[in-house]
Structure 1
Amino acid sequence: MQKSEKYTHPLSQANAAQLNDSDEGGLNLGQIGAVLRRRILLILGITGFLATAAVLKAETDPPVYLGTFEILTRPVTGESKVIQDVPQALGDEDAAGKLNNTTIQVLQSHRVLDPIIEKLQPKYPDLTYQSLVDSLVIQPAVKNGQILQVQYTDDDQQKVIDVSTLLADAYLKYSLQDRQSDIDQAIKFVIEQRKPLDERVKYWQNQLRNLRWENSLIDPAQKANELSGQIASFRQEQINNRVEIEELVARYEDLRRELVQQPGERAGNSVLSENARYQRILDQIQTADIEIKQKSAVFTDDNPAMETLRQRKAYLLPLLAQEEMRVQRDFQSRIRSLIARDRALEDKIKNLNNSVRELATISRNHDNIQRELQIANNGLTQFTAKQQALEIEKSQKQQPWSLLDPKLTEVNEPATVSDSAKRNLALGGILGLLLGVGAALVVDKLSDIFYSAQELKETTRLPLLGTVPLRKELEGAGANVSRGVQQPLRASFFEVFRSLYTNILLLGSDTAIRSLVISSAGQGDGKSTIAIQLAQAAAAMGQRVLLVDANLRCPSLHNRVGLMNIQGLTDVISQDLDWHNVIERSPIEENLFVMTAGPIPPDSVRLLASHKMQDLMNDLQASFDLVIYDTPPLLGFADAYLLANNTNGIVLVAGLGKLKRTALQQVLEEIKISGTPFLGMIANKSKDATPVSHNYYQQYYKQSSSAERVSVEVVNESNSSATSALRRTRRP
């Protein structure tokens, strides 16, 4: 037979050391909550004990009397009086609170308390400054308010009355005596602050006057508007002048082109046609040309009349040329004049722009001076008004502080008697609760036991195949479970093991898991119960399952499944019996077969380590879909290690509430050293985990019962023969 494939789990040093790391790292919030729930009785006991002791102590202690009164105060600092209404001053939201802190320090100083001690020491010799301060509490009645609450406590009732009365009188006198000096300091402060303000106002007034005188202006904005208007006017004039230049240049070019033509072709010239003198000379030349043409038909060229006409024309042509030159010079003169004017306008605009730029600097300086002058004037005005208000306040004689309860000094009874019993009960309860929580954490830490699956998973960082809820009736489960359809309550719990078996199957994605060893670190973790329930779940899912009781030291599976332990594993190995004759079909499940342990041998390790045992394990794995070996605990016994090396691996059952951390750490180290294939862990007896709801399964089975009943009746007749044959072939 082929040896079983091993599915090893990497128990690296990091995983093996995780127990130590977790122990040193402490508990998280979830673990703390679980610890407090487990140790609630210890916490309640310590809390109740300390609270009771505190109450008893309060009843035996002498009563403590409390004298209290409240004083309405106002700010006492001179500078605060000055700047509290100044808008430019930076406000402080906590100013009232800071003022009260300063006031409290003054009221507790030797300056205020020493006169009281001198008056009361003849009557109370034990009264000192330190004892008075230790028993005196001064605090604001309202946060950031102006009401001070004064409390004095002592076990002498009359002493409380006397001290409270003198304290109230001393605090009122203190406020009345210091008022005048405070106002004088405030007035002095105002006067000192006014002097530099007066100088600043004069300085900026002189600066403003000099600026206006040097630049010959009153208002820079008005001057800027005037310059802007002049610049706009000159620019418009410059634009018009340039348009006129362009027109003259164009007409001049037209004139030059016309002058190139013959005199007879210039009649239509628009420029020369506007010159009357040129037109008269041109008309005379044209008239002479007409007469020459007319008389040339009558006279010969050498005729005196023809000669006269030609002379007259020759006389007119120089005159025409002179007139053309004069017209050209006139155009040139006008163009030069307009160009000179354009240059003059450009210079004027540049000068004005320079003036505007200079004015901008002047205007900025003017605005800065105006702003500084206004700030100085405002400050001077405010300090002047504050000085007048302080002088008015100085003339008044009203007391600044006042008692909210004027009858306090006339009372002959203590204002309040403190309830020590209630206070001690609260303090004792709080202290007891804290000590109880600390004791619970310490006791739980020293117990060194796993209590939850989450704690087990976070501590070991190893695969957790499933979590089995705590069910006390499963300690003897197996024989009491009937075949057929499970009851809803039983089925809801049975689903936990179906899921567990499915998780185990998923571990062997390449090669199916055919055999495994179920063991635990010590006794009482529930490994045998897990083995039976897991075998039932696999058999109910259609697998041929063999459950082998390999615990040859203390066999118990036969009692749990309701079988006799006459012959078993010991007989197969030691007497060469055929294993087919030893296994029995379980009364719990049709596909579940059981091989009991048989008689207890003198040396179980020798039998399990034999070659016969290895051959038997190979035969069993080849004949069944799944073989489950229930073995002794791992600590102190080698049985499980011997068997696990010939299976797909070992499944470790951790009994929550019983398994110690040190035991689990030792087992994991032994598994790692031995190289035993490790599949994962099962958290058993979990109080936090619950199976699927009973109501859910009850409703499910009610809905499916009718359809299942009809289906069974129809199918039973047609499948009876096939079912019988299938059972015969599966029976070993």
Structure 2
Amino acid sequence: MINDQKDGDHIFPPFLLQYWQIVLRWKFVIGGITLLALIVGLVATLLMTPKYTAAARIEISRDQKNVTNVQGVAPDDGRDLEFYQTQYSLLESESLAARVVRQLRLAKSDTFFAQQGVSSSQLEKLGPASGAGAAGSGREKLAIDLLLHNVTIAPIRNSALVDVQYTSNSPDLAAQIANTWVQQFVAQSNDRRMASTSEARKFLEGRLADLRMRLQQSERDVVTYASQNGIVALTRTQGMDGKTQTERTLASADLEALNTALAQAISDRIAAESRANAPGARGTNADAINSAALAQLRQRRAEIAAEYAKLMVQFEPGYPAARALNEQMKALDASIAREEGRIASSRSNDYQQALAREQILSERVTRLKNDLDRQQRATIQYNIYQRDADTNRQLYDALLQRYKEIGIAGVGADNIAIIDSAKVPDRPSSPKLFLNMGIALLCGLALAGVATFALDQIDEGLRDPGDINRLLQIPLLGSVPTVKEGKPFDLLSDTKSTLAEAYLTVQSNLAFSTSHGVPRSFIVTSTRPAEGKSTTSYAIATVLGRIGKKVVLIDADMRNPSIHHMLGIGNISGLSNFLAGDNDWAPLIHGGQVRGVDIMPAGPMPPSAAELLSSDRMSMLINRLFERYDHVVIDSPPILGLADAPLLARSVEGCVLVIEAGGVSVRGLKSSLARLESAHAHIFGAVLTKIKEDHSGYGYGYSYNYSYGQSKS
């Protein structure tokens, strides 16, 4: 931060010296108001009635001790902050205060009301103590309000302990109410827990009766629908979610058995068909080879053929014995042929039987598949009934279990315990002399500060435009009213607005400040920030542009630029770039925002704006701009605390000083003018801004601080 110094003679910023001067000037007023406040505080403390505070300490456990290890109705969500905040609110509840009032019968005790500072006239308006109806309720309401007003709940940090404090004019009454308060809090907590358990049991009883009827009806629907649709479940399983699942029915079991038999019949038919259609010579198939009868016949024929061959060696075929053997061979050949024919006929019969069996099984499987398909379609509705029964059974079992648990959930130790009972206090808790005197001192200093501020503003504020020439000896270029509605830049675009008319007057008066009319180059500055210098510089440039002049507006406030914000243009490059050595100034100018007016923003914030302005590049820039523009208007930083404005004043024809009505003291304005005159700056005049109907009550403090990467002195 920049620490303002005045000519290097002081180590404190000017605004601190200004405040110190104000204190010295009004020191008697400050001292008198402070002393009066201390006297009032002392007298008030001595006149106060002594009050006594009694405190009872309780412990509120987060987790309730449960003997049965069964969770109660109230949820345990683990949020300690909300739990304890709820308990503190319950300790301050009106219902708890009402229990204390009824327990101690405070509504009928005139002594209680007297000790709490209630006058007898107020009690007479509420009616007699034994009255009923509105009178009785009025006294009870008053007693409750008194208790709530005087009770204090003080939690002990980082613990489960809470102090319940009660303050009264009577020490005995304070202790009695504090003890009764914690006792009733424990009783209220027990009553609330038991009431919630009782209500939960009643609710569950009704729900159980309803679910019992629904469970019976849903199970009856399952059995009835299964009987109507022939669904016979052989096996059932119950999943982890409690849902009953039918895995095997009678129809599916029958189909499975028949399907197995059909597969076997198909296999047998294929085997028989392959045997019947097997290629090869007759009698060479497997059945013929494996036939015992056929083997015997063939063996017998072989033996006879052997004997016949022996006879043919010695005899002719006509030999009787040989002829007999030949007849036997023919008879055996005929028997062998008949046996082979029988075997072939047997293979065909086997194939036909296998085919018939396959067809019968296939028809039965088809019929059973149709029956099973019908059952499966019926199973959809069956499963719906079954799921309904399962759901009702689960709900019934869960509610029945919860009903049993709630019956024993209340059997547990209370989570609220009274640690220390309140004792009768032996000394008053208020009034506290030193505390009251400290408060009185602070109030006195605050009142003295307000009074000093008001007096100083009344004495130093610049309120009338005519005072500018009289007190500052500079011309008044014009007065600008304050903007009550809308933005200044929007009003300046309307040539019929009062703000635009005011700045047109400023431009007209500025034209008479030199022999050649409006100065070709000038800066617009002020004593402190937020006096309207940026708006004034923009307004003057706008008015000059409207009359056909080519104007460039330069934002030279490189510490706190604002023109680019007002006009919505970028500030990537600007004046600081040229002052740092960039000679190409044309790309740094933005046009098209206002007719006849171009803008050069401040550019990136430099490490030291004063060093850049100390060079001759500012004068070089203005001379180059004169080649294209008729006027150069510069928005300068404020004067006090900074060297920028005097340095800029060396490069232009003169200065226009912007003064906020009632903003800066005359002494501050004179100091600003002195700094400009020390830099040999020509002052064309002043513009008084923010004129209001009532100019009283303005201050004159000023400051203007800028942030840098490093501190500057």
TM range (shorter): 0.3 to 0.5
Q: What is the TM-score when the length of structure 2 is the normalising length?
A: 0.46
